[in-house]
Amino acid sequence: ARGKELIKRGEIFEKIRLLFSRFNSLATAHRMSRGVKEIRKRLDNIANDHTKFGFKLGSKPILKRREETCSYVYEQEMIGRQDDVDKIMHKLLDPNVKQDVSCLTIVG
């Protein structure tokens, strides 16, 4: 008798477990559907803004090319700075300097 009672309890617990697992899946499906509705609403708002502000769809990437530069200076283009150039070259090439020059800042 006790064995039959335990079997019946087991069957009841199994039915309750199935009921709750089905309920959980229904609750999950409900939450998911609400989330999808919210996402669709947000996408619709974005599409409305697109038309409201007159944005155009295009597949061309926007490229802004920068002017190419280099550190080479044409000596013919330098005017009036020869004294400064000579002083800098003297500092860099002076054999009497006791320290190495690791960085020399030129401004202007």
* For residue 79, pLDDT beyond 90: no
Integer Cα distance of 83 and 94 in angstroms: 16
pLDDT of residue 45: 92
pLDDT of residue 5: 67
pTM score: 0.35
At residue 71, what are phi and psi to the nearest 5 degrees? Answer: -90, -5
Domain boundaries, the chain: 1-53
pLDDT of residue 78: 62
Query: CA gyration radius for the chain?
Result: 40
Tokens of 17: 């477990």
For residue 38, the Cα-to-chain-centroid distance in whole angstroms is 24
Over residues 27-67, the pLDDT tens digits come to 778 888 999 999 999 999 988 888 888 877 776 777 777 78
Query: How confident is the prediction for the chain on average, in pLDDT?
Result: 77
